[in-house]
Each structure stands twice: as C-alpha cells, then as structure tokens.
Structure 1
Amino acid sequence: MDRIGDHGGGSHPVCDGDAPNKGRRRSDSCQIGKALNFSNEWVEVVRRILVLSVDHGFSPSAYAVRTAASVGVTPYRNVAAGLALAAGRYSAFGRLDAMSRFIDELTAAPGPKNIIVRRLRAGEELPGFGAVGMPDEDPRAQALLAQLDKVCSRDEAFRRLKMAAAAVAEIKGLKPGFALPAMFVNHCGTESTGLQLVTGTDSGMGGALNRAISARPTRPHFLHKYW
C-alpha cells in the first residue's frame, strides 16, 4: 500500500524509472496512473485518495457483515447483509448522491456563497462539511486539498469550491470532510475525467473507493500509520 508523504509535483520517486520497483510490485496509484496516462501530479492525487481512505471507521454495514459471519452464514449472504445496510438512504453511502449534486451546484454557480446562505435559510444540509468523529477538522481532507491546490490551482470549479468552503467556515465554523474533495476530483481539469473510473462509479474499483471515502472515521489511525 502507498504511504503519504509530500512528493509534490514533477518527479515521483515511486513511479519514475524501474530501479525503485525491482523485485516488488508497482504501487496501486502508479498502476492506475499508468493505465489512465496521468501526470505525476495526478498520480499523487490518486495515491492520497487510496491511502487516506484506508481507515474509515466501523460503519453499520461493516458491523452487519461481522455479525452475519459470526453466526456462520455463507459468504454470499454475508456480503448481502453488508450491501443491504450500505444502500440505506440514511447511511454514509446513501449520502453520496446528495453530495455529488451539491458539488455540481457549487461549481456551476458564479457566487457559491449565495447557495450556502440559501440552503441555510431553508434549513437544508451542507453535504460534505463537518469532520464527524474528529475534534476539529478532518486532516485527510486537508492533505488531499493541499495536492488539489497544486493540480487545480487555475481551475474555476476549484476556485468556487474554495469560496464555498470559506463561506461555510465563516458562517457555520465547519470544515470540509474527506469525501468532499475526494468526490470533487472529477470536476477539475482534463486528466480528472479519468478519475471518474476511480471515484465516480458505483461498480468495481470506483464503487469500492466511493464507499471508502464516504464512511465516517471513528479515530484517525491513518495519522500514525501513513503520515
């Protein structure tokens, strides 16, 4: 598994050249980057999504799977139990559609602050904001946003997302959770189109990452393991 560290842009020590990889498999992020013809900067975005989504807490669906396994059901029924809970409209996974629509709304509007104010006045939620399970802010979100600052700095959609984040912080004192920037990558630049294969689908690897990034962390184990 990849480990987080500030490789920055340009040369990527894991992906560039064959020497660092002799005798061992290429990292997951490098394999994805090679398949999608990503630059090193975008490989780093993929790497951070993969690493930071590893520790995502003990969700209700995970609890269901463990409970079903403890009574000896078949693996198929075990998986079915987890999927049944994961599809619930009030589960973290069920909120992905709402967050995706919210991102679309924010990045399409010239004045995203107005959208924030309108939602708050109407008593609506702000999907993707609030570091649930953490005392202040989600450090995973900050790590991913730092890399997006490098690859999306000239992107209008990213500028609007940052304006929205500043407005929410000013009005409500909330910071983005990890799922917000992880889902935003599909909106930034031409290379991000390929990331829809990673974070924008409901099947295969994309579905797995979608479920991982949306789950609420119960404690920041990743800080000790990967930072």
Structure 2
Amino acid sequence: MRGKTVIFSIVMLVLGFLISFSYQYTKQHQADVIRTEQWKKEYSLKSQLTTQEKANQKLEKELYSLQSKVQATESNLKNEKEQYFNVLEDVEKYRMFTGEIGAKGKGVKVSLEDASYIPSGQNVNNYIVHESHIFHVINELFISGASAVSINGQRITHQSYIHCNGPVVTVDGVQHPAPFVISAIGDPAVLIPALNIAGGVVDQLTSDHISMTIEKTDIRMNPLLRNKD
C-alpha cells in the first residue's frame, strides 16, 4: 500500500511538473508569438513609413518643379504684360504725335506778334512774324519733349506745311492771322528754360523784332483735322 502511495506521489509530481512546464512553455511561446507579431507589425509600419517618406520626397520634388514652372510662367506673363503696355503706351504716344487722338495736359503757350512799332523807312517784312519764326519755336518745343503742338488751336505734326503770306500764316492749307498762339503739351519746367536758353529762341526772335510771350498753362487739344475724300 505504501509503495502504491509513493508511486502515485511520483506520478502526480511528474504530472504537475509536466503541466507546469507546458504552461510555462505555452506562456513563453505566446509571448514569443506576440513579440514576433509586434515586430512584424512595427517592421511593416516602418516599411510603409519609409515608402511614404520616399513618395513625399518625390511629390516635393514634383511640387518644387511645378512651382518653378509657375514662377517662370508668371515672370514671362509679367514681362509680356509690361511689353504689351509699353507697346500700347508707344502707340498712344505715336497717335498723339500724329494728331490722331485728342490730348490734354500741362504745357506752355507761346504767343508771337508782329512788332508794335516799325521805324519810318524800314522794310515792314523785317518786323512781322514769318514761318521761319514759327518753325523755330515748334522745333524747339518738339526737341524739348513736347508731345503735342498746335497753332491757333490747329494740331500740327512733324510733317505739317507752314507758309507765310503777308500778315497771315497758312498751316496745312488753313490760314491764321496774327497773333499766332503756339500751344505745346509737355513739362513746363523743361520747355520754358529750353526756349529761354541764352542765344536760343527768345533771343533770336527778339533780335528779329518779334513780340513773344510765354505762359505756363493747362492745355487741351482736339484731334488733327484731316481732309475727307
């Protein structure tokens, strides 16, 4: 009986050991499985993160490339816009020079009159305004930057024909009596000194006995009148 008890005790001890070992093994195995799964999950996440970072870097390069193209396009458009407005500005200036459009702005008025006194026995032609005097004033105004010029309200251009016929002056076929008022749109601070420069227009016309006055004023001009067929 006692032998059976000892054997039973040994069997129970061995069984307990096996159960304990199996439990510990199972627990350790499950822990290893969990760690393996966690490692696999972490590795997968790290791989996905690395892949995403590479994709982000590629997208950043593409974005930078597109931004560079956009900036280049904007710069080109800006240059084209500036060139376009420069062309428009040049066209407007040309149309103003040719008298095709009306004009207004600050400028000067230069009035030319025949001499108020003619000494006895002197040639009258030496004391009246001639086309050369008018040309002299107009040329100086254009050279000094005038954008538009008129005589007695009639617009003129660089190609206008001016002819003196006694007391009247004919401008492109239209006769004008004295006084001759030459209006010019431009910077008065430039035009007036240019006319008054020593040995310039004022001095030369004064020596020719021509009465000349210069006035700074706002000016408005109509378009050049053209003959219609």
TM-score calculated relative to the size of structure 1 = 0.21
TM-score calculated relative to the size of structure 2 = 0.21
Which protein has the bigger strand share? 2
Rg bigger for which structure?
Answer: 2
